[in-house]
Amino acid sequence: MQTYDLIVIGAGAAGLLGAGTAAESGLSVLLIEKMEKPARKIRISGKGRCNITNTKQHDDFLEHVYPDSRFLNSALRNFSNFQTIDFFNSLGLKTVVERGERVFPESGKAWDVADCLVNWAKKSGVEIICNTKVKSLNIENNKICSVNADCNNIEKIIEAKYFLITTGGISYPLTGSTGDGYNFAKQAGHTITPLQPSLVPLEIKNHDIQLNKLQLKNVSLSLWVDGEYVDEEFGEMEFNVKGVTGAITLRLSRNAVSAVVAKKQVELKVDLKPALSSEQLQNRILREMQTLQTIEPLLRKLLPQQIIATFAKKANIRQNNKITDLDIKKIIETLKEMTFEVSGFSNFNESIVTAGGVSLKEIDSRTMKSKITENLYFAGEVINLDANTGGYNLQIAFSTARLAAQNIIKK
């Protein structure tokens, strides 16, 4: 029976980069993937475009990482977002920097990123086997000696000296992320911090279905929990059949989900005119009133048609009424703070990443090695580390995998 230097479980972003890095140094590496092809999640990421990373400076990057950004410090310094860009460019994948310092493949195709990683890993010497599900780890004397795997209904025991778990979280389970890595980690004695969806659409109480598919650009969205201000984002948001989504909603969703789970009152407040002060809005409305008699045509000048009815309800105004000073006050207040009560959130099928995972206290951040099991390492989303939308989560996968592989090579 062949014994590999390293078995990597899970052929996503972290698995491919970790396996390829180890194989390049001459290690014999087996990468096991339970789906029919590797990099399934990469192929659909970024709405099919794949936001590979970003060009934020180190400290700025870490500000977007949760729950403890210090854990990523060593990994990101060892393999930074700029090194990731250079890495893909060196493999012939051209990249472009877009708004928000986000980095995409020049082709705009996530498949190109996936194929680039897979081809590089294979050329580096990685043996990739798909349609193979690892069922359990075999542990003796605090060391993993082999895995039990099901390969097309054939049971196999596969041995290795070192093991790297890169199975991802439980977001987008159709791509293969179904939480297997958490079970392996538990088997090896690790604690799994509570899992919850992150970067996820939020559901609104008494949601007005007529808002579905409405997109709002250049608005400011703030999150309030039990009446206290928590955070704010500027950019684009979108309504769906149950509530709200879009970039700024997703960035606020981590704190919103935690608050909902804790049964706190959660509100989103939209500033529909963030570039204008209340005084400037009042001056504009007074100018418009010189040629208008009722509220309805005024609202059409201020808002997209699709949101007018909902806006009027929230402002408690009647569209056919003549404009009064009280109506002006209500309109301005609602334009600056249109409030929606959050009642829930979408499930893991719609969340981009999983918050929670293998406890950071049980992993050495300088090596990604388990503090509990002697020859076990972790990388990527299986760890209790997640971040905002904008290329951060893929970079976490790349950085932690590179660091893990390099330390396995040293061993």
Q: Regarding beta strands 192-198 and 228-239, do their DSSP bridges make them parallel or antiparallel, or are they unpaired?
A: unpaired
- CA dist 51 and 48 (Å) reads 9
Q: Which residue has the higher pLDDT, 30 or 174?
A: 30
The share of the chain scoring above pLDDT 90, in percent, equals 95
Q: Do 329 and 206 belong together in one domain?
A: yes
Q: Do 193 and 222 belong together in one domain?
A: no
pLDDT single digits (tens) 128-182: 999 999 999 999 999 999 999 999 889 999 999 999 999 999 998 888 889 999 9
Answer whether 271's CB lies under 8 Å from 229's CB: no
User: For all residues of the chain together, what is the average pLDDT?
Assistant: 97
Q: Do 341 and 223 belong together in one domain?
A: yes
CB neighbours of 283 closer than 8 A, spacing ≥ 6? Answer: none
Q: Do 161 and 279 belong together in one domain?
A: no
Distance of CA 1 to the CA centre of its chain: 40
Q: Which of 326, 320, 407 is nearest to 368 (CA)?
A: 407
Q: Do 234 and 169 belong together in one domain?
A: no
For 177, the domain range is 3-197+351-410
CA torsion through residues 25, 30, 35, 37, sign: positive
pLDDT of residue 289: 87
Mean pLDDT of 80-98: 98
- Tell me the helices (H) and strands (E) count for the chain, helix number first: 13, 22
Q: Do 30 and 172 belong together in one domain?
A: yes
Q: Which of 397, 405, 400, 402 is nearest to 52 (CA)?
A: 397
CB neighbours of 199 closer than 8 A, spacing ≥ 6? Answer: 250, 251, 253, 254, 351, 352, 353, 386, 388, 389, 393
pLDDT single digits (tens) 391-403: 999 999 999 999 9
Q: Distance between the two ends of the chain, CA-based, in angstroms?
A: 22
Q: Do 303 and 358 belong together in one domain?
A: no
Q: Do 371 and 274 belong together in one domain?
A: no
Q: Do 49 and 87 belong together in one domain?
A: yes
Answer whether 244's CB lies under 8 Å from 270's CB: no
- CA dist 48 and 46 (Å) reads 5
- CA dist 172 and 39 (Å) reads 13
pLDDT of residue 173: 87
pLDDT of residue 175: 87
Give residue 172's identity as a one-letter amino acid code: Y
pLDDT of residue 250: 96
pLDDT single digits (tens) 113-130: 999 999 999 999 999 999
3-state secondary structure of 206: coil
Matching residue, tokens 């709002």: 216
Answer whether 144's CB lies under 8 Å from 188's CB: yes
State the CATH number of the domain containing residue 398: 3.50.50.60
pLDDT of residue 83: 98
pLDDT single digits (tens) 330-355: 999 999 999 999 999 999 999 999 99
Q: Is 283 a residue whose pLDDT tops 80?
A: yes
Q: What is the pTM of this model?
A: 0.94
pLDDT of residue 321: 87
- Give the phi and the psi of residue 343 in degrees, each rounded to 5: -110, -15
Number of domains in the chain: 2
pLDDT of residue 386: 97
pLDDT single digits (tens) 32-86: 999 999 999 999 999 999 999 999 999 999 999 999 999 999 999 999 999 999 9
Q: Which residue has the higher pLDDT, 238 or 291?
A: 238
pLDDT of residue 102: 97
pLDDT of residue 176: 87
CA torsion through residues 167, 171, 175, 179, sign: positive
Q: Name the domain boundary from 345, 363, 390.
A: 345
The token pair that represents 352 in the structure block: 């981009």
Answer whether 298's CB lies under 8 Å from 205's CB: no
Helix (H) or strand (E) holding 21: helix 13-24
Torsion angle of C-alpha atoms 266, 272, 274, 280, degrees rounded to 10:
-130
Q: Is 1 a residue whose pLDDT tops 80?
A: no
- CA dist 298 and 284 (Å) reads 10
Q: Do 35 and 176 belong together in one domain?
A: yes
Q: Is 287 a residue whose pLDDT tops 80?
A: yes
Q: Do 156 and 184 belong together in one domain?
A: yes
Q: Do 175 and 47 belong together in one domain?
A: yes
